[in-house]
Each structure stands twice: as structure tokens, then as C-alpha cells.
A and B are shown apart, each in its own frame.
Chain A
């Protein structure tokens, strides 16, 4: 089992994983491009007006985000499954077919978003153009397609997990992925009531990103610690179970923080405040866990005179991936934990809800909690497919990591400042009217923040280009240990 950690050669599951990662990276690029278009429109509102309006750029920005992450998550599972179970993934042929179905469906949906954009107020539009519900705008036909593809993926995972060695990581992933798939169904119906609509919509959005996706990250981090620094499986999996308890224990009822203002009863104030205030705790635990294991493994090897470790005395067998995993541990805590907690209490949220404050949190949280670890998985796959024992940093990997991290922090700072202006001027002072909204948007603090957001967005995009070049070239470079 240990040797197969390091190689993807000969494993069809790992080959499929690389397909998923490749498509994910392309969509990641699209996400950033449409994000840039939207950021430019905040600064120059006439940009592409009537051709690619903000609404369409924004839909593509957030949908591409969800899609690339889901693709990279599926890829991650296909990548680690042979390592964890000790067998080739079952039903991999169907898995490969479903990949193409999924990718083709995404392309069609994107083309319709771009070329058709809106439709008449009818069921036909909901079925074939857009459902118009943030993050899950994909038309209904695509919903059913997604359900079929996801069921196929879950079946692959379950059959493989049941036949092979069922580790703690695989058990957590099996439970988590079935919940992840099932929750999507909550977003697949139409209702005339906007309150009812939002209630169930949050079941998909919140219970994905603040529950099932977080648990997924816990499982991936556990896998990464075992493969990259040789952390002890029993200890890692014990932490994983603690994280699952804390993440689901806080995250499931933390859903209440979305039910403060959508028409739902006041008791959600207390429930949402309490449980969402607990949500950062597992993120602290995950951060401590990663650093603790890293320090412990390094200490053990030093104590044993660098001889105790399997691979040449190096603590970390994949430097770029591990860098991204550590950034995940910190970014998850900072973006999801700290930036989330800032505005999660109803007394604060009354004013911050629906402002750039949320956008600041959204950007840092999605990046810190998910983008980081999934990029780390890209690097694990590069290492595996090239049969590299120790993957080292290159100049490109250091530059790309630094630029992306700097740009994301800069964007978050800018959006946070914009959010403050909005909260104080548009909300507290002017009471959220049309005029109050635009007063807030026109102030120098807000407009300068939007300039900085765009600049920092360009920094992120530059980092992304370097990242892609590094991913494409690093495998053949001679700095690594084969």
C-alpha cells in the first residue's frame, strides 16, 4: 500500500482522477476570468454592458467555482481510493463514461448561460436555460444529469470501499459523499414562496459548504498527512473522527444563521448564533492537528537521526502540495472561521447581511477552505503520475503560491473595507433603500476598495497562470528526487 501512494502509473482510478483535475483546472481559470470581468464592471460599469452583463459574469464566476471544486473533489476521491482500499476502483469504466457526460453537460450549460442568458418567465426557462438560483443556476435538465453522474460516482466509491480495505478515511468519505449527493435534491424544485425557496436553497448551499465539504476537507487532509509526512494513521483518523463530530455538531444547526431574515421564526437567532459561533472550533482543531503532526513527525525523524523515515530523511515528500495543505489549515480557519464569525451573530448580521462583507468572507473562505487543498491534490497527482519520490518547490511554484495567497488576502481586505462602508452608510445611516445603496456605493472608500479588489484579482490571476505553467512543467524538472 505504501508504494502505491507515490505512483499513479497503472491505476485507472488515478488516471480518471487526472482527467477530473485537468477539467477542474480549466474551469478554475474560467472562474477567475469571469470574476475579473465582474470586478472590472464594479470599476467601469459600462464594460461589456448588454453583451456580458454583470449578472451573467457573476453566474459564471460562482457556478464555475462550484463546478471546478466538485470536479476536483471527485478527482481527489478517485486518486486516493486505490491507496486507501488497496484495490482498483470498481466500475471505473462507468466512472470514465460519466466523466465525459458530466463535462459535456457543463459545457452545454455554460454555452447557454453565455449565449441565451435569460428566458421568458416560464417553466421552459427553468428547465432549459437557468433556474436563477444563486450557485445552482443550472437548468433542471442538468440537475437530473448531475444526480445521475453523482450517483454513479457514489456507487464507485461504495462498491470499492466495501470490497477493499475500509479505512477510517474511506468510511468518512462514503458517509459524507452520500449526504453531499442527497442534499442536492433539496435544490431541485420550484415554489412561489421566496421564503420557502430560500429555506431549502440553504440546505444545499450551507450544508454543502459548511458541513459536507468541510468534512471532505478533513478526510483529504488526513490522507495528505499520511502520504506526505508519514503521519500515523491511527492518530490521524482519530483526529478525523473528532473533526467530523465537531464539524457536523456545529455546522448542521449552524444552518440557522441563514434563517435570521428570510421569513423564518425568531428562534433561529439563538440557534444560528450559538451553533455558528461554534463552527470555527473544528477549524482551529484542524489547523492545530496539521501543525502538530508536522512538528511531531519532524521531531521523530530528528531524534532518530533522519533514519527513521522511509524516504531519505525528508519530512515532507511533496513540498508544493504540503504548502497548499498548510495554507488550507490556516486559510480555512481564517476565511471560514474568523471572517465567518465576524458577522454571524444576528445583532451584527442585521446590518452586514447582503453586503460586501459577505463577499469578503465568501472569497477568503472558498479559497482558504477548498481551493488550497484541491490545488494541493493537483500537486499530489503530478507527483504520482510522474513517479516522483520527493516533489520539491520550483521558482514557479513559490511565486504562484505567493501571488495567489497575497492576491486573495488583498481582495478580502478590500472587500471587507467596502463592506464596512456599505454597513455604515447604506445600512445603518440610510436604511437600505435604493438611494442609500447607491450613496454607499459612490463614496471614495467604497470605490477605492473596488479598485484594489480588481488589482488584487489580477494578482491572483497572474499567480494562477504561473500555477498552471508549474503544474504542466514541474513533473519533468530535475530538481525532484525520482
Chain B
């Protein structure tokens, strides 16, 4: 053993084994804590079901039959930010009685479509993805797709869901900006699934993200 290492071994602070053990313990502890929190989070973000919606049980991620309902995004005094509120029955492609299976199948198709068409390579969902096109977290609630909104008017459709589905099938026919969405070969059925996916996503409790969604338009534009 040379002189240098003898000196270095005198203090625990310069002892490699001490730091190796510390690294192991710290990593192990952090990992266990993460696993424990993951179990808790899994329970809290497990998708709800139709009974929850019928009984007014609030779930962070509601079941697929939320597409039968009106969804709003309202300020919660208790939580200090906006939260999605599931309201009364609302027509979705002419129906408000989708069963658990039917709604689940639509959502499944929509989620597959979202991945198959690479939506997140331009848009953000829940704020994650690319920044070339608008965030879609609460796209379902965007006033532009609403009854008096320019995007719904542009497609000439009577309802929000039909307008969105029409746009998704032929985005190249409806330029909303110089940055146009390309034609991704989305079929009518896939578009329906994608709109169901978007409506469902708008019902997820995202802890107030995005803030002030769609509220400040009037103030800024002076309408």
C-alpha cells in the first residue's frame, strides 16, 4: 500500500467503500419510494367505469362512457385551479347511450389512431409531444370548435364532434394556419374514435393544466 492511499484511508469521507455503500443505499431507498408511490398513483389514475359516472364518483381518469356526458372545465375554489366537471347527458354523434363496451371500443380505436398517426410528433397531449401544433389536452373544450367557433363553422357541420371528425379526415381542405395538418388517411370510423379519445382526454383531472383555458379571449381581443 503506497503512502497516498494510506493517507486517504484515514477518513471515512475519502473512503471509496463508504461512498459505494452510500450510493447503493440512496439508490435503493429512492427506488423503493418510487415503487411505493407508483402503486399509489396506479390506484389513483386507474380508469373509472360507467357506474362511477352514474353515481357521481369523481375519478382522475373517468371511464370511456364519459363521452355520453357534457364536460366543462371549471375553477375549483377548494383546489385553487380548474378541474373537469362531468355534467348531464350530451349527444355524441347522435347518441348519448354508448355502453361501456361501445365507448371502450371507440376509445381503444382512438388511442390506437393517436399512436398510428403520430399525433404527438406535431401536437402535445397532456403537454407532452412536439410543439409544431396546438396542445390537445382540452381540445374538446376549445371555444373554436364550439357552436359559434370558427373551426366548426369552417367545416359546415352542425355539431362539434362532426366538425372535428370532418377536419381530421380532410385536414388539407381546411387550412387554419400556414402550418397545415397533412392528410393522414384517417377514415370516418377512425376519426370518430379520435374524437372520442379527445373528449375523454378533456375529462382527465390534470391538476389545472392548462391554466385559464379559453377564458381570456374576450379580454385580449376586446370583444
Interface residues of A (CB under 8 A from B): 38, 41-42, 45-46, 49-50, 53-56, 58-59, 117-123, 125-126, 129-134, 137, 168, 171, 190-199, 232, 234-235, 237-238, 241-242, 244-245, 248-249, 252-253, 255, 258-269, 271, 350-351, 353-356, 358-359, 422, 427-438, 441
Contact = CB atoms under 8 A, between A and B. Distances in A.
* Secondary structure type dominating chain A contacts: helix
A41 B182 CA distance: 13
Nearest to B208: A350
Nearest to B219: A429
Contacts of B114: 132, 194
Given A195-B126, A265-B60, A433-B143, A241 B116 contact: no
Given A118-B185, A121-B110, A253-B33, 5 more contacts: A195-B45, A245-B27, A429-B216, A430-B216, A434-B144
A305 B144 CA distance: 75
Contacts of B128: 134, 198, 258, 262, 354
B144 A433 contact: yes
B19 interface: yes
B196 to A, nearest CB: 11
Contacts of A263: 45, 60-61, 126, 204-206
A132 B207 contact: no
Interface in B177-211: 177-180, 182-185, 187, 190, 193-194, 197, 201, 204-211
Interface residues of B, number: 96
B124 to A, nearest CB: 4
Residue picked from A269, A350, A359, most chain B C-beta under 10 Å: A350
B118 A137 contact: yes
A112 to B, nearest CB: 12
A365 B139 CA distance: 30
28 contacts: A41-B132, A121-B113, A123-B112, A130-B116, A132-B118, A132-B120, A134-B121, A190-B112, A190-B115, A192-B47, A192-B111, A199-B38, A234-B5, A241-B22, A242-B22, A244-B23, A245-B23, A252-B34, A264-B41, A264-B60, A265-B60, A269-B207, A271-B37, A354-B128, A355-B131, A430-B216, A432-B137, A434-B144
Contact of B112 (A45, A125, A194, A441): A125
Contacts of A194: 111, 114, 125-126, 197, 201, 204
Contacts of B212: 428, 431-432
Given A194-B126, A431-B211, A54 B116 contact: no
Contacts of B122: 53-55, 58
Residue picked from A196, A235, A245, A429, most chain B C-beta under 10 Å: A245
B116 A121 contact: yes
B166 to A, nearest CB: 16
Q: Which 7 A-B residue pairs are closest in the complex by CB-CB distance? A: A132-B115, A121-B113, A354-B127, A261-B209, A241-B19, A55-B121, A432-B210
A129 B184 CA distance: 14
A121 B112 contact: yes
Contacts of B211: 350-351, 427-428, 431-432
Contact of A435 (B60, B204, B217): B217
Given A121-B193, A133-B115, A133-B120, A433 B217 contact: yes
Given A55-B130, A118-B117, A252 B27 contact: yes
Nearest to A346: B207
A273 to B, nearest CB: 13
Contacts of B150: 435
Interface stretch (B49-57, B92-100, B101-109): B101-109
A130 B118 contact: yes
A259 B128 CA distance: 11
Contacts of A192: 47, 64, 104, 107-108, 111
A303 B119 CA distance: 62
Contacts of B31: 248, 252
Nearest to A117: B118
Interface string B46-75: 010000000000001100100000000000
B33 A129 contact: no
A262 B190 CA distance: 24
